[in-house]
Structure 1
Amino acid sequence: MPENTLRAHDERFWETFVDRYDVDAGGPLNLENGYFGRMSRTVVEEYQRNIEFVNRGNSLYVRQHFDREHGEAIRLQVAKLIHVPPSTVALATSAVDALQTLIRNYNGLKPGDQVLISDVEYESVKSAMRWLARQRGAEVVELVHPHPASFDSLVGTYRETFIRYPRLKLMPLTYVNHLTGLVMPVQAIAAAAREFDVDIILDGAHALGQIEFDLKKLGIQFAGFNLQKWIGGPLALGFLYIAPQRLADIDPDMDEATYPATDIRSRTPHSTPNIPALLTLPLVFEEHRALGGASAKGARLCYLRDMWVSAVRNVPGIEVMTPDDRRLYCGITSMRFTAQNDQQAMADRLLDDYGIFTVVRKTSVGPCIRITPGLITLGRDIERLTRALTDLSRI
């Protein structure tokens, strides 16, 4: 059995790991870790020190040291995280910020072209694509994926759409669907898109930190990520990626001139960033690597996910929305109570009656309850969840 799989099952290790984090004593069990991840205690302490350090040094430090040295060193580490040259990444405040920057500055559309959005994309990404289409005189094509999804159905639906709409030029693609946790077969979809000359902007918000990937192997030219979900960084940190041969296809942001047009940093607005948060990233990355990186985190999260899904998959009154094909899921999975119309009321019952916090998401086939274990979730927490779901299924 691989080392990461062995560790994923090792409750004694993870009980020790939990001690690295501060949580509200007596608070509800948080199974909504998809919003943002906790920082470890050492990261919080480092962040606080950096706040005090920057406050003391003020503009002298920022102008003479951070701008010239430290900021670039951190960008190099961000690039190393996804195994790309630093010249291909630019810092942003979030994945949404990065994705919207890529979308609004994409210059490959002309009147009459088409852009594609699907039901699994993040709402801010869909609205940005609609805005881009209006600005460029393009048509918006909207795709709804069949449910339940399979690897072949997902790839086949895109291929059929590319054939049906030959003027398609651009589409976003969410690596891990924020609604149900469905992991899209990115490499296969990107290969089909290349056949029809359709560019992809990848939303990697939920993938980074829990899925090992190689952007070049995936065939991805443009992507946006954040560092606050599974990497363990402070809030309001993200970055974008542009393949070096495609930099000219994304315009400088609103004619941003702080950096030359040959520098990817001109593709984002120039402003004063959250420097204390950025200075905390070296420690964040060190802890991420020390744990085993995305492969170790992903193995643990999938183990926890499998625990509760296997326990309730065949329970009458419960539908698990995410398939069990290992290629198509990660730590996030959604379910619904089939005898109940109001899933929010059931999520409220989980919180009020069982002390378990989850979140409701609306999909094309109706609302569902998204359940997302975290790195400090333990096996006994999942057992508590399965008992609660089984009880509520009988209502």
Structure 2
Amino acid sequence: MVTRRHFLGGSAGAVGLAMGAAASAQNAGAADDWPVDPPFRFTGDMDNFDAAQSALAALYDVRRDFATFDAAYYGAMTRPVEAAYRARSHWVNRNHALFLRGGSPGHPRDAELDASRTAVARMLGAGMDEIALSAGGTEALYALIANYAPLQPGDAVIYADVDYDEMQFACDYLAQSRGARLVRFDLPEPHSEANILAAYDKILKDTPRAKLLLLTHLSNRNGLVPPVKAVVAMAKARGVDVILDSAQAVGHLPFTAADTGADFIGFSLHKWLAAPLGTGGIYIAKDRLQDIKPWLGNRIHDADDIRARIPTGTVDFAARLTVPAAIAMQDAIGLEAKHRHLLRLRDYWVERVRDVPGLEMLLPDEPGRYGAVSAFRLPGMSGPDDAKKAAGLFLDKYRLLVVAKAGLASGPVLRVTPALFNSRAELDRLVAAIIAERGLFA
């Protein structure tokens, strides 16, 4: 049973919830009682680093015997959002097939799911008919890439070393299934805006039959945020469509679909928005819908319905129904304030290790080119096995979860991704571990 004490999680100064509303989970025991979320209020001072850390940490029920720096994988729900998810899980289970087949009395299934689509559309400045929900960012981007309709045999598909592995695989599939020509290139380091724009300009000029460009909004490998709007405009000027991988950007960077200039965007909701696992979505500009074919001939929805572009099997309905609660929690904190705090978390540890002899930081301190995700190489670290060894050492010896990432042309890295729940003390442990192990491969 979700009690008021569990719901608040001891965070009286951080979250204020309406009296009695925390009982929504057990009240869902009545078949006709739709779970109603309490107002999401956050009273932490986001302009004060320590006060913000304290208030934000109180929102989470996560283990503290390890310091986990992997928010780029899963953001972890806040206590209020987890309570909302539990209530909806209970409600869906109690109403089971009655709801799944079309809806319980007073709660049509599609109308309730459309409330989630509407909330996502509002967050991205889009129309609900331009949004479909998916089982995460990977599924969303596979749907966009594999079903991109205008591609003809011999057309070129471009992607870079900073792009996500599975999205590269999806582009490779276009070569196997559609006769596309793959053009892979490496972004030059340092990843300054000038270098990035020059590299994309060159690859577009050098690829006369380019038709499709995969562009990553925020790289899962090293945290690079390219000048998205400029690259999209550059590609469009040459008749090249862009599929934008915003899996790491939604709930992390303040932006709207219009800000990017992209007509096709795939994204995750269980990373930085901290919605339940297995949530994501696609955005397709309304006038470009027919340029993404229905998923494997899907006719469950009409061809002019964006939902036909996503698999329509049985999903975690409770997770999708909880998405508006995750957005409400983000709204209570404030996306701009959340973004500023994430940057402070990143800058805190980076500034303290920057001058470690031989340590490589992967991104320059150029405003707008990074978020909370960053990566480093220990002196002498080379090859994926070294990166895995270092990540294992940090976990076993220091109880710090950092992630070994390969795929960059310059070599493997250790990725660090602070979450809103990480503390100054945990960041200090990370800094101490990096300094202590600087000679691991020397």
| TM range, smaller chain | over 0.9
Question: How much has 1:61 moved relative to structure 2?
Answer: 2.4
The answer on 1:38 being equivalent to 2:38 is: no
Q: Is residue 379–residue 439 contact of structure 2 (8 Å, CA) maintained in 1?
A: no
Q: How does 1:1-395 map to 2 (within 5 A)?
A: 7=46, 9-25=48-64, 27-62=65-100, 63-64=102-103, 65-293=107-335, 295-341=336-382, 342-362=386-406, 363-395=408-440
Q: Is residue 156–residue 180 contact of structure 2 (8 Å, CA) maintained in 1?
A: yes
1:257-311 CA distance string (max 9 Å, x none):
2222111111122222211112222221111100002x22211111011111111
Question: How much has 1:384 moved relative to structure 2?
Answer: 2.1
Q: Is residue 9–residue 300 contact of structure 1 (8 Å, CA) maintained in 2?
A: no
Q: Is residue 75–residue 86 contact of structure 1 (8 Å, CA) maintained in 2?
A: yes
Amino acid at match of 2:416: I
Question: How much has 1:339 moved relative to structure 2?
Answer: 2.8
Segment drifting more, 269-278 vs 193-202: 269-278
Question: How much has 1:145 moved relative to structure 2?
Answer: 1.1
Question: How much has 1:379 moved relative to structure 2?
Answer: 1.9
Structure 1 distance, partners of 2:144, 2:351, is 39
Structure 1 distance, partners of 2:372, 2:80, is 25
Q: Is residue 77–residue 276 contact of structure 2 (8 Å, CA) maintained in 1?
A: yes
Q: Is residue 403–residue 414 contact of structure 2 (8 Å, CA) maintained in 1?
A: yes
Structure 1 distance, partners of 2:167, 2:252, is 22
- Helix, strand or coil at the partner of 1:7: coil
Which protein is richer in helix relative to its size? Answer: 1
Amino acid at match of 1:166: P
Structure 2 residue ranges without an equivalent (≥5): 1-44
**Residues 1:47 and 1:214: Cα distance change in structure 2 (over 3 Å):** closer
- Helix, strand or coil at the partner of 1:194: helix
Q: Is residue 179–residue 361 contact of structure 1 (8 Å, CA) maintained in 2?
A: yes
Structure 1 residue ranges without an equivalent (≥5): 1-5
Question: How much has 1:8 moved relative to structure 2?
Answer: 5.1
Deviant stretches of 4+, over 4 Å: none
Question: How much has 1:338 moved relative to structure 2?
Answer: 1.7
Q: Is residue 31–residue 373 contact of structure 1 (8 Å, CA) maintained in 2?
A: yes
Normalising by the residue count of structure 2, what TM-score does the alignment of the two structures yield? 0.85
- Helix, strand or coil at the partner of 2:364: coil
Structure 1 distance, partners of 2:52, 2:290, is 48
Structure 2 distance, partners of 1:388, 1:257, is 54
Amino acid at match of 1:235: L
Question: How much has 1:211 moved relative to structure 2?
Answer: 0.4
Question: How much has 1:348 moved relative to structure 2?
Answer: 2.4
Question: How much has 1:394 moved relative to structure 2?
Answer: 4.3
Structure 1 distance, partners of 2:278, 2:110, is 22
Amino acid at match of 2:58: D
Question: How much has 1:353 moved relative to structure 2?
Answer: 2.5
Normalising by the residue count of structure 1, what TM-score does the alignment of the two structures yield? 0.95
Structure 2 distance, partners of 1:181, 1:9, is 25
- Helix, strand or coil at the partner of 2:70: coil
Structure 1 distance, partners of 2:283, 2:333, is 25
- Helix, strand or coil at the partner of 1:328: coil
Question: How much has 1:133 moved relative to structure 2?
Answer: 2.3
Amino acid at match of 2:417: T
Q: Is residue 317–residue 394 contact of structure 1 (8 Å, CA) maintained in 2?
A: no
Return the structure number with greater relative CO, CA threshold 8 A, min gap 6. 1
Question: How much has 1:391 moved relative to structure 2?
Answer: 1.8
Structure 2 distance, partners of 1:10, 1:310, is 15
Structure 2 distance, partners of 1:57, 1:279, is 14
Residue of structure 2 equivalent to 1:3: none
Question: How much has 1:327 moved relative to structure 2?
Answer: 1.6
Structure 1 distance, partners of 2:85, 2:110, is 21
Structure 2 distance, partners of 1:323, 1:173, is 20
- Helix, strand or coil at the partner of 1:116: strand
* Equivalent residue pairs, number: 388
**Residues 1:69 and 1:256: Cα distance change in structure 2 (over 3 Å):** same
Superposed CA RMSD in Å reads: 1.5
Q: Is residue 181–residue 334 contact of structure 1 (8 Å, CA) maintained in 2?
A: yes
**Residues 1:269 and 1:339: Cα distance change in structure 2 (over 3 Å):** closer
